[in-house]
Chains A and B, each alone.
Chain A
Amino acid sequence: MFRPMRERAASATLAFSFDGQPLTGRAGDTVAAALLANGIVACRETPVSGSPRAPYCLMGVCFECLVVIDGVGNRQGCLVPLAEGMRIETQHGRRQFGEDAA
């Protein structure tokens, strides 16, 4: 959906994955920006109807950019900086407890 503008300051490239697919992003970007820049259309499905949603406000207000980051669900992608090796996944509906659930 988004693409880098023609002239952009150089920055380190970070490797991450989205739903298992290997992608790269720019160091300094948020998770939500990195997903947009990679053409990811939807980042979650709602817990109410299962409809797809994508980042909407990018300023921490709307909670539409919720994703699973390194196994932790419902994180606001627009407030989390991308990090090397991050495992990002679609938030399917309700929060899951994850592997560490006691």
Chain B
Amino acid sequence: MVVIGGGVVGGAIALGLARSGASVAILDEGDDAFRASRGNFALVWVQSKGFGMPEYAIWSRRSADDWNGLAGILKAESGIDVAHSQPGGFMLCLSDDELQTRVDGMRRLHNQETMTNFTYEVLDHAETKRRLPAIGKDVVGALYSPHDGHVNSLKLFRALREACVRRGVAYRPNSAVETIEPREGGFSIRGAWGEIRTGRVVLCAGLGNARLAPMVGLDAPVKPSKGQVIVTEKTEPFLHNPMVTVRQTDEGGVMIGDSQEDRGFDTIVRQPILSVMAERAVRMFPRLAGLNVVRTWSALRVMSPDGFPIYDQSLSHPGAFVVTCHSGVTLAANHVLTLAPAILAGTLPDAVASFSARRFHVPAHA
């Protein structure tokens, strides 16, 4: 089988396939690829996900619950501890309006059927302070959910590659794919590097899926959504819980993020957003004020029109699959443990039936 794309999504699918006994090759781009796997925020996040599609909440929760198992597998297969923990996540709010917006969002989410099994709490300043003594006075409250966790996503990225290589997966860098042609019940995949023939192909090419999917009768209308991230110098441990805006890595650096912009493929880092993120982070945790910034970057999320993943098998060309999402870290456990074995078996599982791109072509209900 051929997996196109060597990021966290492609690595997870390839590892899952290889663990199920498939012979796998990964075709990847080179050093300058748009690579969300190098730029993401490393959350294993559940709360706040799934409004408009409760199946996504359930799918995310399932992956978060299985993540501990994945971390164990990665340790055993690669020797790398990816620093996974699930201490519960906070969303800190700096005004009553922000808190109200968050609370309303959670209510709408949980008013959906099948969302009964998700726990969350709304905390006032005092209770937030009791649980996170480092917060500043401007934090009016928080949402908390015990399902949220985080990892070291760069270690995850490397562990997936290491485990794949140890399982005999052929990793082929500098192999950008130009065309995929259905041929004799299989596929001919070509690029400047040459050609490879395969019976089955899984598109895990992130933003590249938009171009590749139609070649095999699939649809992946994904677009870039830009996010900027700041990381500080390493400092003493002070924050164990993940948050969407601030988290401390196992190495000690503090990551600050969660901007979202539609700027196409522009990845220039711009000061105004850095400043807004820094200002809010310092209000959340005043002790951060004196820390030096060592790096910033921007990365492109892989966004579908409704923000949910796309999992499909081609109807016109069976054997061609697409796997695309903006939460490759959260969903890694599902991708390795559930999705890849199903792809190898030739049928996507019922749990992902709602994630077909066909949803974009059905007239929406009023």
Are B290 and A72 in contact (CB-based, < 8 A)?
A: yes
In the complex the two chains form, what is the Cα distance from A94 to B134 in whole Å?
A: 18
Are B136 and A97 in contact (CB-based, < 8 A)?
A: no
Q: Specify which chain A residues have a CB less than 8 angstroms from the CB of B292 in the assembled complex.
A: 74, 95
Of B286, B290, B291, the most chain A CB neighbours within 10 A belong to: B290
Are A101 and B287 in contact (CB-based, < 8 A)?
A: yes
In the complex the two chains form, what is the Cα distance from A93 to B236 in whole Å?
A: 9
Q: Specify which chain B residues have a CB less than 8 angstroms from the CB of A94 in the assembled complex.
A: 233-236, 252
B74-99 vs A, Cβ < 8 Å mask (1 yes, 0 no) = 00000000000000000000000000
Q: Specify which chain B residues have a CB less than 8 angstroms from the CB of A96 in the assembled complex.
A: 235-236
Which residues of B from 57 to 77 have beta carbons under 8 Å from A?
A: none
Q: How near does chain B come to A86, taking the closest CB pair, in angstroms?
A: 17
Which residues of A from 74 to 99 have beta carbons under 8 Å from B?
A: 74, 93-98
Interface presence of B265 (CB below 8 A): no
Q: Specify which chain B residues have a CB less than 8 angstroms from the CB of A47 in the assembled complex.
A: 234, 252
In the complex the two chains form, what is the Cα distance from A47 to B291 in whole Å?
A: 15
Interface presence of A102 (CB below 8 A): yes
On chain A, the number of residues with a Cβ less than 8 Å from chain B's Cβ atoms is 12
Are A102 and B286 in contact (CB-based, < 8 A)?
A: yes
Interface presence of B238 (CB below 8 A): yes
Q: How near does chain A come to B94, taking the closest CB pair, in angstroms?
A: 15
Are A97 and B233 in contact (CB-based, < 8 A)?
A: no
Task: Find the A residue at minimum CB distance from B286.
Answer: A102
B230-246 vs A, Cβ < 8 Å mask (1 yes, 0 no) = 00011110100000000
Q: A97-B238, A102-B286 are in contact. Are A74 and B233 (CB under 8 A)?
A: yes
Q: How near does chain A come to B284, taking the closest CB pair, in angstroms?
A: 11
In the complex the two chains form, what is the Cα distance from A101 to B234 in whole Å?
A: 16
Q: A47-B252, A102-B136 are in contact. Are A95 and B287 (CB under 8 A)?
A: no
Task: Find the A residue at minimum CB distance from B291.
Answer: A95
In the complex the two chains form, what is the Cα distance from A100 to B252 in whole Å?
A: 19
B290-319 vs A, Cβ < 8 Å mask (1 yes, 0 no) = 111000000000000000000000000000
Of A96, A98, A102, the most chain B CB neighbours within 10 A belong to: A102
In the complex the two chains form, what is the Cα distance from A30 to B234 in whole Å?
A: 25
In the complex the two chains form, what is the Cα distance from A74 to B233 in whole Å?
A: 9
In the complex the two chains form, what is the Cα distance from A74 to B234 in whole Å?
A: 10
Are A95 and B234 in contact (CB-based, < 8 A)?
A: yes
In the complex the two chains form, what is the Cα distance from A93 to B252 in whole Å?
A: 11
Q: How near does chain B come to A6, taking the closest CB pair, in angstroms?
A: 39
Are A97 and B287 in contact (CB-based, < 8 A)?
A: yes
Task: Find the A residue at minimum CB distance from B252.
Answer: A94
Are A102 and B233 in contact (CB-based, < 8 A)?
A: no
Which residues of B from 129 to 147 have beta carbons under 8 Å from A?
A: 134, 136
Q: Specify which chain B residues have a CB less than 8 angstroms from the CB of A72 in the assembled complex.
A: 290
In the complex the two chains form, what is the Cα distance from A72 to B238 in whole Å?
A: 17
In the complex the two chains form, what is the Cα distance from A97 to B287 in whole Å?
A: 7
Are A95 and B235 in contact (CB-based, < 8 A)?
A: yes
In the complex the two chains form, what is the Cα distance from A47 to B136 in whole Å?
A: 27
In the complex the two chains form, what is the Cα distance from A95 to B288 in whole Å?
A: 11
Q: Specify which chain A residues have a CB less than 8 angstroms from the CB of B287 in the assembled complex.
A: 97, 101-102
Task: Find the A residue at minimum CB distance from B292.
Answer: A74
Q: Specify which chain A residues have a CB less than 8 angstroms from the CB of B286 in the assembled complex.
A: 102
In the complex the two chains form, what is the Cα distance from A101 to B235 in whole Å?
A: 12
Q: How near does chain A come to B283, taking the closest CB pair, in angstroms?
A: 11
Task: Find the B residue at minimum CB distance from A75.
Answer: B292
Which residues of A from 15 to 57 have beta carbons under 8 Å from B?
A: 47
Q: Specify which chain A residues have a CB less than 8 angstroms from the CB of B291 in the assembled complex.
A: 95
In the complex the two chains form, what is the Cα distance from A93 to B235 in whole Å?
A: 9
Which residues of B from 193 to 245 have beta carbons under 8 Å from A?
A: 233-236, 238
Task: Find the A residue at minimum CB distance from B282.
Answer: A102
B residues near A (Cβ < 8 Å) are 134, 136, 233-236, 238, 252, 286-287, 290-292
Give the 10 A-B residue pairs with the shortest CB-CB distance, closest first.
A102-B286, A101-B287, A94-B234, A95-B235, A97-B287, A47-B234, A94-B252, A95-B233, A94-B235, A102-B287
In the complex, besides A47-B234, A47-B252, A95-B235, 7 extra interface pairs with C-beta distance below 8 angstroms are: A74-B292, A94-B252, A97-B236, A97-B287, A98-B290, A101-B287, A102-B136
A-B contact list, 25 entries, CB within 8 Å: A47-B234, A47-B252, A72-B290, A74-B233, A93-B234, A94-B233, A94-B234, A94-B235, A94-B236, A94-B252, A95-B233, A95-B234, A95-B235, A95-B236, A95-B292, A97-B235, A97-B238, A97-B287, A98-B290, A100-B290, A101-B134, A101-B287, A102-B134, A102-B136, A102-B287
